């Protein structure tokens, strides 16, 4: 765990809970020897852009958290630079809970999952919603603007952390399962051919 994530996550109440439960050693993550965790590198960029969905948490002005799933083809969540990721906000059920929450508190937390490989990346950042025609609208980026995009959500990364793989269930999407089945069928065909040739 890097400093940036620990600096946000390890509030006084969290530190007290760690001490009460025997994990006060996490305090070492807040020492001057620690650094990093706020600039996305090549591993993070590749992981982010390979995802076909993520979980996003916002908080309302009444203090209630709201978690929503955002999905799309791999690459819909893009890394623009080492501090910025973005995605197109598409029309859904038109409740605009996340958008409304972000208008009062721009903080967001994302969890990106790779279930087959038990990998999880947590990202904390601040969001800026870019409306069509406003400054920063990415008119020259068709990958970031699929049909129906209502706005673009720019997230300035404050911190990230690769999370422990323990307790992550192994799951496959239809495409991943289909790929494994096709590979097994190919192997079966090759083995049958080899047996028939003996």
Identify whether the C-beta of residue 187 lies closer than 8 Å to the C-beta of residue 193.
no
For residue 84, the surrounding DSSP H or E stretch is: strand 84-90
pLDDT above 70 coverage of the chain, percent: 93
Q: When comparing pLDDT for 124 and 181, which is higher?
A: 124
146-178: pLDDT as tens digits: 777 888 999 999 999 998 777 777 787 778 788
Instruction: Provide the domain count of the chain.
Output: 3
State residue 34's pLDDT score: 63
What is the three-class DSSP state of 149? Answer: strand
100-121: pLDDT as tens digits: 999 999 999 999 999 999 999 9
Position 24 confidence tier, pLDDT thresholds 50, 70, 90: confident
For residue 157, the surrounding DSSP H or E stretch is: strand 149-162
Same domain, 160 and 85: yes
Burial of 150 (0-12, 13-18, 19+ CB in 10 A): middle
Position 144 confidence tier, pLDDT thresholds 50, 70, 90: confident
Q: How far is CA 60 from the centre of its chain?
A: 20
Rg (CA), the chain: 21
Identify whether the C-beta of residue 128 lies closer than 8 Å to the C-beta of residue 157.
no
Same domain, 32 and 59: no
Identify whether the C-beta of residue 130 lies closer than 8 Å to the C-beta of residue 136.
yes
Domain CATH code at residue 121 = 2.30.110.10
Range of the domain at 20: 1-36
Same domain, 54 and 25: no
Please state which of the ranges 47-61, 100-114, 136-150, 174-188 shows the lowest mean pLDDT: 136-150
Same domain, 14 and 46: no
Same domain, 13 and 111: no
Q: What angle do CA 50, 2, 13 make, to 5 degrees?
A: 115
CA neighbours within 13 Å on the CB side: how many for 178?
3
Same domain, 26 and 49: no
CB under 8 Å to 173, separation ≥6 — which residues? Answer: 52
Please state which of the ranges 34-48, 65-79, 124-138 shows the lowest mean pLDDT: 124-138
Work out the mean pLDDT of the chain and round it to a whole number. Answer: 87
């Amino acid at each position: 765990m890097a400093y940036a994530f620990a600096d946000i996550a390890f509030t006084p109440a969290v530190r007290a809970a760690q001490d009460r439960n025997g994990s006060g050693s996490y305090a070492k993550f807040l020492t001057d020897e620690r650094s990093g965790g706020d600039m996305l590198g090549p591993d993070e960029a590749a992981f982010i852009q390979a995802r076909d969905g993520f979980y996003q948490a916002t908080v309302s002005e009444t203090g209630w958290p709201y978690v929503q799933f955002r999905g799309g083809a791999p690459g819909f969540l893009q890394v623009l630079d080492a501090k910025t990721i973005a995605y197109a906000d598409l029309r859904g059920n038109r409740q605009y809970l996340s958008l409304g929450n972000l208008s009062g508190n721009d903080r967001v937390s994302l969890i990106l999952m790779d279930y087959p490989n038990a990998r999880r990346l947590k990202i904390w950042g601040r969001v800026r919603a870019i409306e069509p025609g406003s400054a920063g609208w990415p008119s020259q980026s068709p990958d970031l603007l699929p049909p129906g995009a209502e706005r673009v959500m720019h997230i300035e990364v404050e911190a990230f952390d690769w999370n422990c793989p323990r307790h992550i269930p192994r799951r496959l999407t239809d495409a991943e399962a289909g790929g494994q089945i096709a590979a097994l069928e190919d192997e079966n065909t090759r083995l049958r051919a080899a047996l028939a040739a003996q």
